[in-house]
Structure 1
Amino acid sequence: MKFDQILSAIGGFGRYQKILYIWICLPQILLAFHMMVSIFTGATPPHQCQESSSSEVGNQSFIPGAVALNFSLSDSPCFSSDVLLLGNRTERVPCGRGWVYSQETFQSTTVTEWDLVCNEARLNSIGSSIYMSGLLVGSVLFGAMADRYGRRFVLLLSIALQTVFGVAVAFAPNFPVYVILRFVVGTTISGVIINAFVLGTEWTCTKRRMLAGIITDYAFGLGYMLLAGVAYLIRDWRKLQLAISAPGFLLIFYIWVLPQSARWLLANDRREEAITLLRKAALINGRVLPPAVQVEKCDIFGGGKRRHTAVDLVRTPQMRKRAIILFYIWFVNVLVYYGFSLGVSRLGSDLYLTQFVFGLVEIPARSLVLVVLPCSRRFSQSGFLAVGGLACLLMVAVPADHPNVLTGLAMVGKFGITASFAVIYVYTAEIFPTVLRQTGIGVSSMFARMGGVLAPIINMLDNHSPTTPLVIFGITPLLGAILALALPETADRPLPDTVEEVENWDIRTPPTKDHPDMCEDVSQSVGSIDKQELRHLASLT
């Protein structure tokens, strides 16, 4: 039997799986905190050049009553009001005594503490890109570790490192150390995302994986909204960083409640441990593991013993076409998603309210995905990408003095790209064959992180041309929408198991009723339950 048939026999999405999804959803809230906190901790408040050394206080250049200053009167905060005479011409004097920052919105940020303005402003965006590159490194490092040491161990390790280094960030003595610590936190983000998703899906029957995968996205959206409230209450960047990181210590009980992946255990010849876990899951689900099931003989890979590598993703024509399109769509999704999210401060409206609404809009976006995805994967992917791209291009035509209109269009764009992000996870898992599914998702994730690295750099172009980031964030998803139409439709189709099946894909092939990836109770087909098995289950508890 295949592993999915055994999973269906013991309950493919029963009480055991639902409890598991509670455990893997809780860290998603903290992930949203870490991913979006730089919007507040790295914000640049209104500022102007320090004119009098008597009011200078260290590097931060804060003065009492800074809120009352009219920062709009300073046409160039990078220059002093002094003028240098050079023959027949005058030249403005660069700001030499530091800056005065408004404390109306923030008590302190990394920008105000280390004067990341004017010539140093680019360091803020570079720091965000380095953080995103940590996600890229983490996807490679923790992905490989998970295949060797198991999903549970790497997930626990990632949560522990994320908590420790997240707290350490709050005590960074200077900006370089801050960036290095944030880079390490970024690597752990990938460790949690990848292994939580894989652990959940490996315990869930394929028919329910679409719903189960999106459940974790809801938790991320909840964290997105909660961050706005936490940041509103805590205006000092160090205290805010500590507030979002310290709760990770509360997850220490995961050592005792988080299970290993039975599929991974079987793949690594740890059959006794896998059988024990499967029996426990069956008992919690009100089922039992049928005695006729010979777990040690399961064909958990869907046929074939040949080991495949990432090269097989582009070795044959159909695989190559689909892989390249998927890689690009992953890249675009992350590029535009974080381009929107990290550029929220440029919209000119209330930062905290906008951040909350940006998180709130993810809930209906993912709910709509649950409605339309069963109808069509291909048109859903293409349509949501088109919505995100068109909203960005429409923002180019809106004047800057209409912040409410800009914010409304940004919400529409965020809605589209969030829905597209939810679709691509399911679509990718269905397009890649079983023998390359994990490899394909891993490589796709690497391309996605490249988009995350570029997003802050593209946002930095706003200082020179406000329309350039919007044009880039508009055209790239529209191209992805067109390319998505070249992908096959996978809704209600049997999943491909081998590369050969991908190459010989026939859209006219009807869905297979007895496909082993379904959630039906197949226990009757594999043998009845006897009293000895029930007594053995009782002894396990």
Structure 2
Amino acid sequence: MADFGEILQSIGEFGLFQKTILFALCFPSLFLTFHLASLIFVESDPERHCNTDWILKSAPNLTAEEQLNLTLPRREDGSFSRCRMFAPVDWDIQAIRDYGLNDTTVCTSGWVYGNMKYDSTIVTDFNLVCDRAFLKEVAQAVFMAGVLVGCLLLGPFAESFGRKRATQIPVFLMLIFTVTTGLCPNLYLYMVSQFIVGIGYGGYRLNCVILVTEWIGPSRRSWGACATQLFGALGQSVLAGLIFYIRNWRLAQFIIAAPFAVVSVYIWFIPESARWLLGRGRIDEAKLLITRVAAINKRTISDSTLEKIVMKETERKGGIIVLFQSPVLRKYFLTIIMAWFSLNVTYFCLSFNVGNFGLDIFLTQAMFGLTELPAHILCIWLLEFVGRKVSLMSTLLIGGFLCFLILAVPQDNPIAVTTLAIAGRFFTNWAGSICSLYIQELFPTSFRQTASGLGSIASRVGGLSSPLLNMLTVYHWSIPIVVYSSLTVVSGGLGYLLPETRKKELPDSTDEAEGKVKDTLMRNQSETNKPAPSKSTKL
């Protein structure tokens, strides 16, 4: 009987086939980040004033300066109000000039925007200013809610219908609804479209990593978890360039859809996971696929080996029930999802706040992406050099401490604030790659997919919480920073509870995951090495 790990050693753990499928599945991650374009690249408080064209009915020849003087109240600093106007009246222009207007009201006919960095944003198109400004964070939360639902729906879907289908469907969802997002006439349809795009985003990120990891052997396992993040970091930098040249959010949506049209063609040729086929009892399909992979990797696999292909049955089943019945695995699980939740809260709080650090938004976004590239490249090797536990603890503790330092620097120093934000984001993103791999190595085969899916859901809850946490700045600018920095530091400390999994085989049973097998072997070895008791001789 041969398990799938032995088969991978025969056909190649990281040959041409694995490299090709790794690139094919990671390539869309280059553009996944672009879906945040309409949410990140917005002017949160653009220069504006109420539309007061009502007065032009009485005096169509008024200059722009006269119109503003007659129809807008002034603030304490002498500038025109950005959210109030004088209530329209049915007077002639001379009466308005003689007596003036006193009653004010909210902007009833929209706003006039000026000195804009962009040609068009969701803020200006949907008037997300003044008493509607909070809807920008709501739109961000709706997208992140879609990402969460994508993990909830397409995780179990992958178990029943295959990894291949669970990666194909999200691509088509993102293609179709990215286009409809650019055509939306109002905020409510925009949110619906973005919610469905989020479903595709979450489902693809979860299942593409699982599909590629199941084809890669243990010696290169870190590539499956880190390469997707690496492509995403590159996409962060490309995103800054895209929006710098394309400053209309609707046009950006159509440009974003173009690469997904290409992906939607080749995604049909991505092979299914042979490990999943074996688990579903589809042995003949798995054998045929394994033979093809061996040929692509220029390896040969004997008929006798093919006849031995059988998935090892785990000694305990039950998924999430077994997970929470085991005190040891429950401790590991709660620790790792706490870390994944915390780092995503920090990561997205910093990401969605990119326009408020004081430096040029395009430069800041480009630096966000460029600084992530070395993080994921280093992660591939350092995971094997220093181990999972030390890597996770150090990245979370350092990242959280750097975010705390934002409180200590003057907020009118944009260089210092941006530097600390980029550094904090660098380490939390690094920790995200570690979590993706760590959670697969902590739990046995019988519910590894369940644990990975639940961990991904926890991370998306963190992303969903981030725009809502950022809304607390209306009470004090420091509240979000204190919350997400504290969460990250606490999670880093709790990482001490996790075991080291470097250079260890993936556990196939609950006992192996809990370390009981190792303890039993050590006790047996100790008893074997004990000297035999001396026998007394009777005289």
TM over 0.5: yes
After TM superposition, give the deviation of residue 35 of structure 1 in Å: 3.6
Q: Distance in 2 between matches of 1:476 and 1:273?
A: 46
- Aligned to 1:405, which of 411, 416, 431? 416
Tell me the residue number matched to 2:351: 341
Residues 1:446 and 2:447 aligned together:
no
Q: Distance in 2 between matches of 1:64 and 1:222?
A: 46
Distance 1:93 1:206, change over 3 A: same
Tell me the residue number matched to 2:337: 327
After TM superposition, give the deviation of residue 36 of structure 1 in Å: 4.7
Q: Distance in 2 between matches of 1:26 and 1:369?
A: 19
- The alignment yields a C-alpha RMSD, in angstroms, of 2.7
Tell me the residue number matched to 1:493: 504
Secondary structure of 2:302 counterpart: coil
Equivalent residues in 2 for 1:401-480 (5 A)? 401-480=412-491
Contact kept in structure 1, 2:317 and 2:447, CA below 8 Å: no
Residues 1:394 and 2:399 aligned together:
no
Q: Distance in 1 between matches of 2:403 and 2:227?
A: 27
Distance 1:508 1:269, change over 3 A: closer
Q: Distance in 2 between matches of 1:489 and 1:370?
A: 16
Tell me the residue number matched to 2:526: none
After TM superposition, give the deviation of residue 103 of structure 1 in Å: 4.3
Tell me the residue number matched to 1:111: 123
After TM superposition, give the deviation of residue 255 of structure 1 in Å: 4.6
Tell me the residue number matched to 2:266: 254
- Aligned to 2:379, which of 349, 363, 369? 369
Contact kept in structure 2, 1:79 and 1:94, CA below 8 Å: yes
Tell me the residue number matched to 1:314: 324
Output the amino acid matched with 2:255.
A
Tell me the residue number matched to 2:535: none
Contact kept in structure 2, 1:271 and 1:295, CA below 8 Å: no
- Aligned to 1:206, which of 177, 200, 218? 218
Contact kept in structure 2, 1:387 and 1:412, CA below 8 Å: no
After TM superposition, give the deviation of residue 161 of structure 1 in Å: 1.4
After TM superposition, give the deviation of residue 256 of structure 1 in Å: 4.8
Distance 1:80 1:497, change over 3 A: same
> Which deviates the most, 472-481 or 370-379?
370-379
After TM superposition, give the deviation of residue 64 of structure 1 in Å: 10
Secondary structure of 2:112 counterpart: strand
Q: Give CA deviations for 1:243-300 in whole Å, capped at 9, x if unaligned.
A: 1123211123325531111111111222222111111110111101222214564134
Tell me the residue number matched to 2:96: none
Distance 1:55 1:102, change over 3 A: farther
Distance 1:81 1:206, change over 3 A: farther
Q: Distance in 1 between matches of 2:267 and 2:257?
A: 19
Contact kept in structure 2, 1:384 and 1:420, CA below 8 Å: yes
- Aligned to 1:79, which of 77, 81, 84? 84
Distance 1:509 1:80, change over 3 A: farther
After TM superposition, give the deviation of residue 462 of structure 1 in Å: 1.8
Secondary structure of 1:100 counterpart: strand
Tell me the residue number matched to 1:53: 53
Contact kept in structure 1, 2:218 and 2:505, CA below 8 Å: no
Q: Give CA deviations for 1:33-66 in whole Å, capped at 9, x if unaligned.
A: 11454112x443522322632699xxxxxx999x
Contact kept in structure 2, 1:158 and 1:188, CA below 8 Å: yes
Output the amino acid matched with 1:136.
L
After TM superposition, give the deviation of residue 426 of structure 1 in Å: 1.3
Distance 1:459 1:282, change over 3 A: same
Tell me the residue number matched to 2:31: 30
Residues 1:278 and 2:290 aligned together:
yes
Residues 1:268 and 2:280 aligned together:
yes
Distance 1:338 1:119, change over 3 A: same
Residues 1:180 and 2:192 aligned together:
yes
Distance 1:348 1:275, change over 3 A: same
Secondary structure of 1:259 counterpart: coil
Q: Using the aligned pairs only, state the percent identity.
A: 33
After TM superposition, give the deviation of residue 226 of structure 1 in Å: 0.8
> Which deviates the most, 450-459 or 210-219?
210-219
Contact kept in structure 1, 2:407 and 2:478, CA below 8 Å: yes
Q: TM-score, normalised by structure 2?
A: 0.86
Q: Give CA deviations for 1:319-349 in whole Å, capped at 9, x if unaligned.
A: 1111111111111121111111111111011
Contact kept in structure 2, 1:45 and 1:106, CA below 8 Å: no
Secondary structure of 1:49 counterpart: strand
Q: Distance in 2 between matches of 1:55 and 1:293?
A: 86
Contact kept in structure 2, 1:263 and 1:300, CA below 8 Å: no
**Relative contact order: is structure 1 or structure 2 higher (C-alpha 8 Å, sep ≥ 6)?**
1
Q: Give CA deviations for 1:482-502 in whole Å, capped at 9, x if unaligned.
A: 100111111123332222223
Distance 1:458 1:292, change over 3 A: same
Give the greater-gyration-radius structure (CA): 2
Output the amino acid matched with 2:23.
I
Q: Distance in 2 between matches of 1:255 and 1:25?
A: 12
Distance 1:92 1:404, change over 3 A: farther
- Aligned to 1:379, which of 369, 386, 390? 390
Gaps of 5+ in 1: 57-62, 66-70, 84-89, 512-541
Output the amino acid matched with 1:457.
L
Q: Distance in 2 between matches of 1:268 and 1:129?
A: 37
Contact kept in structure 1, 2:147 and 2:199, CA below 8 Å: yes
Distance 1:441 1:290, change over 3 A: same
Tell me the residue number matched to 2:18: 17
- Aligned to 1:219, which of 228, 231, 244? 231
Distance 1:430 1:92, change over 3 A: same
Tell me the residue number matched to 1:516: none
Output the amino acid matched with 2:476.
S
Q: TM-score, normalised by structure 1?
A: 0.85
Gaps of 5+ in 2: 57-62, 66-74, 89-101, 523-539
> Which deviates the most, 29-38 or 151-160?
29-38
How many residues get paired?
Answer: 492
Contact kept in structure 2, 1:122 and 1:460, CA below 8 Å: yes
- Aligned to 2:360, which of 350, 362, 379? 350
Distance 1:354 1:490, change over 3 A: same
Tell me the residue number matched to 1:44: 44
Q: Distance in 2 between matches of 1:509 and 1:232?
A: 61
Output the amino acid matched with 1:134.
G
Q: Distance in 1 between matches of 2:137 and 2:210?
A: 31
Q: Distance in 2 between matches of 1:219 and 1:502?
A: 31
After TM superposition, give the deviation of residue 367 of structure 1 in Å: 2.2
Output the amino acid matched with 1:458.
L
Distance 1:103 1:190, change over 3 A: same
> Which deviates the most, 23-32 or 43-52?
43-52
Q: Distance in 2 between matches of 1:228 and 1:64?
A: 35
Distance 1:82 1:400, change over 3 A: farther
After TM superposition, give the deviation of residue 425 of structure 1 in Å: 1.0
Q: Distance in 2 between matches of 1:93 and 1:369?
A: 56
Secondary structure of 1:158 counterpart: helix
